[in-house]
Amino acid sequence: MKFGLDRLLSEPALSAPLKGRRVALLAHPASVTAELTHAVDALAAHPDMTLTAAFGPQHGMKGDLQDNMMESPDYRDPVHGFPVFSLYGEVRRPKDEWMATFDVLLVDLQDLGCRIYTYVTTLLYVLEAAAQHGKTVWVLDRPNPAGRPVEGTLLRAGWESFVGAGPMPMRHGLTMGELGLWFIDHFKLDVDYRVIEMQGWKPEEAPGYGWPLGQRSWVNPSPNAPNLSMARAYAGTVMLEGATLSEGRGTTRPLELFGAPDIDAKAVISEMQSFGPEWLGGCVLRDMWFEPTFHKHVGKLCSGVQIHVDDPMYDHHAFRPWRVQALGFKAIRRLYPDYDLWRDFPYEYAFGKLPIDVINGGPDLREWVDDPNATTADLDRIAEADEQAWLTTREPFLIYR
């Protein structure tokens, strides 16, 4: 198969409209060709391209900053000399003077298929800026490694943030190119937009179900996105960023596990299996131990649960990571009713709201976890209606069928 970047570089009919126009690139470390050449260098070497600027999202163009809310500076590309503007530094939206440096913006960002992954919101912000300034945006499309399944409640009105660009569920099942089409329609943007489509993407095909296993190398799109297992689990494990439990940052398996020094992982798994066995399909839970070298519970031995989605037990359509992690929270609340589970700090600059609510785009999940009388059917009742609504909403914007 071919990603959008590779098609643009190899098909003259696609690149010809860029001749004589000033081109900017929004990219990160995973913006590479099939031969692992970074998009900046590959595009700069192309005869049809005149690169005049670049933009880096959260974690920076270089992907060097580990945690959230660590800001990247602007700088000049040391090889090509053009400015590289940070969209996760002094600002989140491009400045007016930055928009004057180009005619066409190429967006080449590897997403994880999750609403909270901030590259989704950055795409919306550059589309809005392009509409305001009369610029053209092309998305060089890449796979959604989590595939087509949809899961989670829709973001509620008034809960928009940098990790919640609009009323979509946690696991949206779209590519970045398709998301751009939905953004333009939903927010009524008047922008010159084009998707350079992939060729041969088959999100329903085993074993990758979204990621072309054996065909393309995995390059971390952010420092704690090291593999396909993380991408599959992320729509659930990302909620741990709003909890006092460790999500495995500071270990070699971030966002595939959860734990803390003061829980019993065996008991947690047993309670999960007892309370909501219908939510545990498609994966295997294993109790384990870990000691984070940085971040939450640094230097402390933690009892943990690892979510395995890379063995013959994996069932792509049965695995529901948002519900698995919700069940993990519920089990801990049932075992330890007074456990200090929810963090309280300005998550992604959203002040005055609990991070778990910002992450979920509303309080529904937290309230369900904290309600001692709530059952799995109660959360299903809310989520399933939202999931069905999103399946209908997204249908007109699917490129790959």
pLDDT tens, residue by residue, 5-58: 999 999 999 999 999 999 999 999 999 999 999 999 999 999 999 999 999 998
Residue at 378 is within a domain: no
Domain that holds residue 133: 4-222+392-397
State residue 70's pLDDT score: 64
Identify which of 117, 112, 180 has the alpha carbon closest to the alpha carbon of residue 146.
112
Which tens digits make up the pLDDT trace of 277-291?
999 999 999 999 999
Residue at 375 is within a domain: no
136 and 66 within one domain: yes
244 and 354 within one domain: yes
Roughly what angle, to the nearest 10 degrees, separates helices 265-275 and 321-335?
110
Quote the tokens at residue 42: 């590959």
Which tens digits make up the pLDDT trace of 301-310?
999 999 999 9
**CATH label of the domain that carries residue 217:** 3.40.50.12170
Residue at 360 is within a domain: yes
Quote the tokens at residue 329: 């929270």
Q: How many domains does the chain have?
A: 2
Confidence band of 86 (pLDDT split at 50, 70, 90): very high
State residue 67's pLDDT score: 58
127 and 188 within one domain: yes
Residue at 279 is within a domain: yes
State residue 71's pLDDT score: 67
Using the predicted structure, report yes or no on whether residue 66 has a pLDDT greater than 70.
no
- 83 by DSSP, 3-state: which? strand
299 and 200 within one domain: no
Which tens digits make up the pLDDT trace of 241-300?
999 999 999 999 999 999 999 999 999 999 999 999 999 999 999 999 999 999 999 999
> What would the mean pLDDT of 311-340 be, rounded to a whole number?
97
Residue at 379 is within a domain: no
Identify which of 145, 294, 169 has the alpha carbon closest to the alpha carbon of residue 233.
145
Which tens digits make up the pLDDT trace of 193-202?
999 999 999 9
**CATH label of the domain that carries residue 287:** 3.90.1150.140
Using the predicted structure, report yes or no on whether residue 63 has a pLDDT greater than 80.
no
359 and 291 within one domain: yes
The pTM of this model reads 0.95
Where do runs of H (alpha helix) occur along 207-320?
Answer: 228-237, 265-275
277 and 198 within one domain: no
State residue 144's pLDDT score: 98
261 and 179 within one domain: no
Using the predicted structure, report yes or no on whether residue 107 has a pLDDT greater than 90.
yes
Q: What is the mean pLDDT of the chain?
A: 95
CA distance 171 to 234: 9
Query: Phi then psi for 139, rounded to 5 degrees?
Result: -95, 125
105 and 72 within one domain: yes
Using the predicted structure, report yes or no on whether residue 351 has a pLDDT greater than 90.
no
Residue at 385 is within a domain: no
Residue burial 153-165, b: 16+ Cβ < 10 Å; e: rest:
bbbbeebbbbbbb
217 and 174 within one domain: yes
For residues 162 and 345, the model is more confident at 162
CA distance 188 to 182: 10
323 and 178 within one domain: no
209 and 236 within one domain: no
> What would the mean pLDDT of 74-78 be, rounded to a whole number?
89
204 and 296 within one domain: no
